[in-house]
Amino acid sequence: MRIKATIQKFESDLWSYYLAIPKEIGNNFIEGEDRRIICTIGSGAPIHSALMPKGDVYSVYVKKDFMKKNGLSQGDEVEVVLEKDRSEYGMPLPESFQVLLDQDTEGSAYFHQLTKGKQRTLIHLVGKVKNVDSQLAKGLAIMQHLKESNGMLDFKRLNVLIKEYNNRK
């Protein structure tokens, strides 16, 4: 679905910018509790996101780096293409992490017992670095952490383990 939307700024330090999507449009993409969408703003790269309730609209978060990279500012009216995100995790899964999930059945079992949101957090940790060796190091640390903790995430411990794996290079 193609619409026009205005980039707005949150009155919060936690999030910066968002697109306000009218509820009558956003409701077309919500299936039960699943609010995941793919949002393409102008000619920018697709953003895997969720429709988040905000008063009488849904908001789609837009990161500062996306704004800067695409020359966008608060108040800009942009063309937006919305589509339902039907991917397994609600975001792209780096190939390096998929390989680890395929090879480590115990780690994969713990990963798939996590909530979808925690899965996305871990996928984001791996995918935010572009270097495949760094992705593998993070992925290996995540799998080890999940097995050591019986699937219970402790992000402080995980970050220590990621640093250890990064230093092994």
Q: pLDDT by residue (tens digit) across 119-156?
A: 999 999 999 998 999 999 999 999 999 999 999 999 99
The two three-digit tokens of residue 32, written as one number: 């039960």
Shared domain for 80 and 105, answered yes or no, is no
Q: Residue 12: pLDDT above 80? A: no
Shared domain for 53 and 108, answered yes or no, is no
Structural domains counted in the chain: 2
Judge whether 66 and 37 are in contact, CB under 8 Å: no
Question: What residues pair up with 50 in beta bridges, in sequence order?
Answer: 36
Shared domain for 119 and 75, answered yes or no, is no
Where do the H-state alpha helices sit in 43-89? 64-69
Shared domain for 150 and 104, answered yes or no, is yes
> Which residues touch 167 (CB under 8 Å, ≥6 apart)?
none
Note the pLDDT tens digit of each residue in 26-45.
Answer: 999 999 999 999 999 999 89
Nearest CA to 122 out of 150, 149, 153 is that of 153
The band of 11, judged by pLDDT with boundaries at 50, 70 and 90, is confident
> Would residue 105 count as lying in a domain?
yes
63-76 b/e with 16+ CB inside 10 Å = b? eeebbeeeebeeeb
Note the pLDDT tens digit of each residue in 52-100.
Answer: 999 999 999 999 999 999 999 999 999 999 999 999 999 999 999 999 9
Note the pLDDT tens digit of each residue in 114-123.
Answer: 999 999 999 9
pLDDT at res. 169: 60
Last residue of a domain, one of 33, 59, 84: 84
Shared domain for 29 and 74, answered yes or no, is yes
Judge whether 58 and 17 are in contact, CB under 8 Å: no
Last residue of a domain, one of 26, 59, 84: 84
Nearest CA to 111 out of 146, 76, 74, 158 is that of 146
How far, in Å, CA of 114 to CA of 122, rounded? Answer: 10
Shared domain for 121 and 66, answered yes or no, is no
The most confident of the ranges 3-12, 61-70, 101-110 is 101-110
Last residue of a domain, one of 84, 112, 127: 84
Shared domain for 45 and 114, answered yes or no, is no
How far, in Å, CA of 36 to CA of 91, rounded? Answer: 9
Q: Domain range for residue 9?
A: 2-84
Stretch among 13-17, 103-107, 141-145 having the lowest mean pLDDT: 13-17
Query: CA 138 → CA 25, 94, 113, 161, distances in Å?
Result: 38, 12, 19, 9
